[in-house]
A and B are shown apart, each in its own frame.
Chain A
Amino acid sequence: MTRFWRWLLAVLIGAWLPIVFVAWWWNASAESTNPFFPPLSVIWEQFKVNWIFELVPVHVVPSIRNLLIGFLIAVVIAIPAGTLIGASRSGTRYVEPIVDFIRSIPPVALVPIFILLLGLDAQMRITSIAFSASFPILLATIEGVRSTNLVVLDTAQSFRLSPSAILWRVRLPGAMPTVFSGLQVGFQIAFVVTIASEVLGSGFGLGAFTLIATDSFLIVDAWTGVVLLGILGYLLNIVFDLVERLSLRWYYGQKKLS
């Protein structure tokens, strides 16, 4: 359990700058009469009205649901696909240029195309999220599996493990630290695309809420949406970090000792 407390302490140490920033914002905006930059105190009052917890089921739950489903689909497709491609020499050579090309397109720019192809429902949003998030995961998995240590491979082979056991029980687990770096990037992209996919044609979700509020000159409401997005992004990152630490305990333990 001490490891958990140490981790919590690290989070708190990392939180001092945001705290200073909020304090500064609070003071600097206190006397503001600019309608576009309302005082933080006003934003906070409206934040409580909107998000504790009146509008959470309408606008937060669908966004988070889309995000998680989309991200999970990306994981479930990209990790096995990346493992198979990474293990095959020619596979990597054929697939990588295509993957690199698609990945270079800003994911948000693909959302309109998905709308054209799939319409304006949750399915389209989840597909865009899954599609955009899968590329960093795919590339990281390919790289991780491809660079399996040769001694590890020799050992596994000398034990006469079947090719599939070598792939899923030796190469993939060994690649997990690299895979996780792809998961991290993929998750951030998934978050961005979740919000971006709601900006068009949706009445629900945090992206939709913020955009509609802005268009309707409900500036304070728009600000509460932005603040909530920031908080959510931050919290999701913490959760992600925790999952990574738990899954890669062997990796961090080993790193600490060497």
Chain B
Amino acid sequence: MTIPAISIRDVTMDYPTPDGVNHVLDHVSYDVAEGHFVSIVGPSGVGKTTLLRLLTGLASPTGGEIHVRGERLTSSPEGLAVVLQDYTRSLMPWLTVAKNISLPLRRAKMSRSAVQERVQESLAEVGLTGTERSYPWQLSGGMQQRVSIARAIAVRPSILVMDEPFASVDAQTRFDLEDLVLKVRDDFGITTVMVTHDIDEAVYLSDEIVVLHGKPAAVRDVVKVEIPFPRSQMATRNDHRFAELRTRVYGMVRGLE
């Protein structure tokens, strides 16, 4: 049996609030297979982002365990990179694009030239060669999110976790970024977990879709997306399986099915 990239076992999350305990997650269990692209969907406020914070080690569950590649999670694990929705805040505005990308490499004790090389490779991967000396805020929203993706892949992660990564960009940019993420995943064989509220996006990108539902939330269903890769915005979105899946998942998120 192969070890899953991420194993979520009976994870429960409660927050104390002035009005009593807020039960967010209730015995959530799910395994993310190595190399898979998994989307987590669910109605807004269901606890998607909470689950993602647990996966990244930014918070600890009140019950249950999370294992990343067989090791129990206690803090942010090695080999896991994060892309957050709010690129305007997650990129440091006082650092240039190149310095933003090299910031996480500080841990790696790489030589200066190796760091430079890694920055160049990462920028080339996201199609932003030549922006090294710009500041993030001088770039468009879509380009800034490309920079955060470049920063994430600069550490050569085996797992990429993204929280609504394309929520604040326009539709055209969104399609481009979706294809970029698929390309990155292909080039580096990265296991990817993405939280999204966009069901079309989830179907387009994923191998599997995890539907969270209820209060406290549990895994309502796991939907396999059996549309072959490579996918394309035109062909895949016109595929009859695409339409069926989005309708099914939509129904689950809405609690209709």
A and B physically associate? yes
Which residue numbers of A lie inside 8 Å of B, CB to CB?
149, 151-152, 154-155, 157-162, 165, 169-170, 173-174, 176, 250-251, 253-254, 257-258
Question: B84 near A160 (CB under 8 angstroms)?
Answer: no
Question: B82 near A158 (CB under 8 angstroms)?
Answer: yes
Q: Does B251 count as interface, using CB distance less than 8 angstroms?
A: no
The answer to whether A158 and B56 touch (CB under 8 A), given A151-B90, A152-B90, A253-B135, is: yes
Could you count the A-B residue pairs with CB atoms below 8 Å apart for me: how many are there? 68
The answer to whether A152 and B135 touch (CB under 8 A), given A159-B107, A160-B78, A161-B106, is: no
The answer to whether A257 and B138 touch (CB under 8 A), given A152-B90, A155-B90, A160-B78, is: yes
Given A161-B104, A251-B94, 14 more pairs with CB closer than 8 A: A151-B90, A154-B82, A155-B89, A158-B56, A158-B81, A159-B81, A159-B103, A160-B78, A160-B104, A161-B103, A173-B92, A173-B94, A173-B95, A250-B93
Contact among B58, B89, B135 for A157, CB-based, below 8 A: B58
Q: Does B137 count as interface, using CB distance less than 8 angstroms?
A: yes
Q: Does B155 count as interface, using CB distance less than 8 angstroms?
A: yes
Q: Does B76 count as interface, using CB distance less than 8 angstroms?
A: yes
Q: In whole Å, how far is B205's beta carbon from the nearest beta carbon of chain A?
A: 21
Question: A174 near B135 (CB under 8 angstroms)?
Answer: no
- B92 to chain A: which residues have CB within 8 Å? 152, 170, 173-174
Q: How many residues of B contact A (CB 8 A)?
A: 26
- B82 to chain A: which residues have CB within 8 Å? 154-155, 158-159
Most buried by B among A149, A151, A162, A253: A151
Question: B94 near A253 (CB under 8 angstroms)?
Answer: no
- B81 to chain A: which residues have CB within 8 Å? 158-159
Instruction: Give the CA-CA distance A176 to B92 in the complex, in Å.
Output: 13
Instruction: Give the CA-CA distance A161 to B76 in the complex, in Å.
Output: 10
Q: Does B57 count as interface, using CB distance less than 8 angstroms?
A: yes
Q: In whole Å, how far is A18's beta carbon from the nearest beta carbon of chain B?
A: 35
Q: In whole Å, how far is A212's beta carbon from the nearest beta carbon of chain B?
A: 47
Question: B89 near A151 (CB under 8 angstroms)?
Answer: yes
Q: Which partner residue on chain B sits nearest A158 by CB separation?
A: B82
Instruction: Give the CA-CA distance A149 to B78 in the complex, in Å.
Output: 23
Q: Which partner residue on chain A sits nearest B82 by CB separation?
A: A158
Q: Does B86 count as interface, using CB distance less than 8 angstroms?
A: yes
- Chain B, residues 55-93, CB within 8 Å of chain A (1/0): the string is 011100000000000000001101011101010011011
- A158 to chain B: which residues have CB within 8 Å? 56-58, 76, 80-82
Question: A250 near B94 (CB under 8 angstroms)?
Answer: yes
- Chain B, residues 132-159, CB within 8 Å of chain A (1/0): the string is 0001011000000000000000010000
Q: Would you list which residues of chain B between 71 and 129 have a CB under 8 Å from chain A?
A: 75-76, 78, 80-82, 84, 86, 89-90, 92-95, 103-104, 106-107
Question: A151 near B84 (CB under 8 angstroms)?
Answer: yes
- B80 to chain A: which residues have CB within 8 Å? 158
Instruction: Give the CA-CA distance A165 to B103 in the complex, in Å.
Output: 10
- A254 to chain B: which residues have CB within 8 Å? 93, 135, 137
Contact among B76, B86, B103 for A169, CB-based, below 8 A: B103
The answer to whether A176 and B94 touch (CB under 8 A), given A157-B58, A159-B155, is: yes
Instruction: Give the CA-CA distance A154 to B75 in the complex, in Å.
Output: 12
